[in-house]
């Protein structure tokens, strides 16, 4: 009997099988970008991203909500949360300070909006770009886990309908974080796993 695989080791990462087996395509028409709104803390950021957010603040300032500008003016762009992680500031206990809203109440990221308009070279924090994946630093590895959340149910339904798996949908941010070689190795490992085990 073949030993059951619990995760994939790709270079110095341990990848959850959820990103191979599960399907996912963000369905913004259904969720309206709720992952930028709901939650009890801001988006995880690195110290380098914290500095970058301060740097691009003048570029995105006029797209931010008035309450967000007040919070940033008073407390800055980020803070250390209860778990000791550096995260973006939030407004009213829910909205990321970089949240803005478009037509029909669609939640948008002011940073990404500026990037797409060519006003900055910074796309957005990597934790946002990678979502619904979450990274966890272990002693010798980085764990890459899939975060299941009820607000992303529509994304799972759409992904299954289109036949797009999590690792395929998130190719761009995974390459951004880990590199082309890492992703090519992941892609091959996923292919072999699905051939062997299905899913």
H runs (alpha helix) in the chain: 18-21, 28-31, 47-60, 66-75, 110-116, 126-130, 153-162, 166-169, 171-178, 180-197
Q: Give the residue among 103, 85, 91 at the shortest CA–CA distance from 44.
A: 85
| Mean of pLDDT values over 171-177 | 97
pTM, to two decimals: 0.87
Q: Which has more pLDDT, 124 or 30?
A: 124
Q: Which residue has the tokens 């770009």?
A: 129
Distance CA 113, CA 119 (A): 9
Going from the C-alpha of 18 to that of each of 23, 73, 146, 171, 188, the distances in angstroms are: 9, 40, 6, 15, 16
Q: Are 78 and 51 in contact (CB under 8 A)?
A: no
Average pLDDT, the chain: 90
- pLDDT above 70 as % of the chain: 91
Q: How far apart are the first and last CA of the chain?
A: 18
Q: Give the residue among 97, 106, 35 at the shortest CA–CA distance from 64.
A: 97
What pLDDT score does 22 carry?
94
Q: What is the pLDDT of residues 60-92, one digit of tens each?
A: 999 999 999 999 999 999 999 888 889 999 988
Q: How confident is the model at residue 1 (pLDDT cuts 50, 70, 90)?
A: very low
Q: Are 30 and 154 in contact (CB under 8 A)?
A: yes
What pLDDT score does 21 carry?
95
What pLDDT score does 92 carry?
82
What pLDDT score does 2 carry?
42
Q: Flag whether pLDDT at 3 surpasses 60.
A: no
């Amino acid at each position: 009997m073949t030993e059951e695989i619990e995760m994939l080791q790709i270079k110095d990462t341990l990848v959850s099988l959820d990103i191979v087996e599960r399907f996912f395509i963000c369905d913004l028409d259904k969720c309206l970008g709720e992952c930028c709104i709901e939650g009890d803390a801001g988006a995880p950021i690195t110290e380098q991203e914290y500095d970058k957010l301060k740097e691009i603040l003048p570029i995105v300032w006029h797209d931010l909500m008035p309450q967000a500008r007040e919070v940033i003016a008073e407390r800055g762009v980020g803070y250390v949360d209860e778990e000791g992680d550096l995260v973006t500031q939030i407004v009213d206990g829910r909205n990321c300070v970089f949240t803005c809203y478009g037509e029909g109440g669609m939640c948008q990221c002011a940073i990404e909006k500026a990037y797409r308009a060519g006003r900055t070279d910074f796309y957005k924090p990597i934790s946002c770009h990678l979502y619904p994946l979450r990274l966890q630093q272990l002693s010798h590895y980085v764990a890459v886990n899939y975060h299941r959340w009820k607000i992303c149910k529509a994304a799972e339904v759409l992904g299954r309908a289109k036949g797009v798996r999590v690792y395929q949908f998130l190719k761009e941010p995974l390459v951004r974080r880990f590199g082309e070689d890492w992703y090519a190795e992941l892609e091959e490992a996923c292919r072999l796993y699905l051939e062997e085990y299905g899913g």
